[in-house]
Amino acid sequence: MHSYIPPDRFFPYLTWTDIQQMPHPEQAVILQPIGAIEQHGPHLPLVVDAAIATAVVGKALSQLSPSIPAYALPTLYYGKSNEHWHFPGTITLSAQTLIAVLTEVGESVYRAGFRKWAIVNAHGGQPQVIEIVARDLHQKYGDFWVFPLFVWRVPNVAPDLLTPKELEYGIHAGDAETSLLLSLLPDQVQLDRAVPEYPANLPQNSLLSMEGDLPFSWVTRDLSQSGTLGDPTAATREKGDRILESLVQSWTRVIEDLYQFQPPRA
């Protein structure tokens, strides 16, 4: 049941009396991995984002000092993935449903006495939704600190291993994600079916971009016929091992920082 999460760090393995007797629950860090079940091209399984979130959180918890109380909730596998729903197999929640689910989970965490809840997201289609949940929960419960975090926004070696083109356009099932899955779930990667594909006809010499400070709205079929955005044929397990190691190292530090976090004072 715990997958990559160390069993002694897996929240559902606690009893209610374990939680009741926890000496300082307000200092503990509760982590919510969240991903998606959505298409990732013809070569990767639907579980990519959920697998990455679970593995990074779990391996970081394995490296964490035993003196730091930190626990992972079960991964939320479904997310807001409607940009991919033209490809069979994608399962999506609406933004409203995801907001409701995360809000009610967060309120349950708060009722149990915890005051630090980090949502660790690995799907690029829902950071804004998670940020809304975090702000609204903190506004409602002033002593509840919710952290809307994204797996890839920590120091890692991917920029050193990918081409400039891949760094800009390889945002889905490309070199980075495929390499990482070769490290995590090699038996589920079908490299012989990998198709490199980059979006065409993007605005040139424009302040507008696919992703960035001034983005335009898009769904995946606007940009890709295969569902891939990037070049998965360049992926290797060695790259994936290095990316994973760097992500885990940074996330171990993030969890330490969450534990040490002190609310700001006006």
In a domain, 14, yes or no: no
> What is the predicted pLDDT for the residue at 120?
99
Grouping H, G, I as helix, E, B as strand and the rest as coil, residue 179 is: helix
Residue 145 near residue 109 (C-beta atoms within 8 A): no
Can you give the CATH number for the domain in which 79 is found? 3.40.50.10310
Whether 34 is in a domain gets the answer yes
> How far is the C-alpha of 219 from the C-alpha of 231, rounded, in Å?
19
pTM strictly above 0.85: yes
CA dihedral 133, 136, 142, 144 (to 10 degrees): -10
Residue 246 CB burial class (10 angstroms; 0-12, 13-18, ≥19):
middle
Query: Phi/psi of residue 156, each to 5°?
Result: -155, 170
Is residue 13 a part of any domain in this protein?
no
For residue 4, being part of any structural domain is answered with: no
Domain of residue 140, residue span: 26-201+209-260
The answer to whether residue 10 is domain-embedded is: no
> Residue type at 80?
K
16 found inside a domain: no
- The tens digit of pLDDT for each residue in 104-137 reads 999 999 999 999 999 999 999 999 999 999 999 9
Residue 68: inside a domain? yes
Contact 15, 23 (CB under 8 A): no
How would you label 42-60 residue by residue, b for 16+ Cβ within 10 Å and e otherwise?
A: bbbbbbbbbbbbbbbbbbb
153-211 per-position pLDDT tens digit: 999 999 999 999 999 999 999 999 999 999 999 999 999 999 999 999 888 889 998 98
Q: CA–CA separation, 164 vs 150, rounded Å?
A: 21
- Does residue 81 belong to any structural domain of this protein? yes
Number of separate domains in the chain: 1
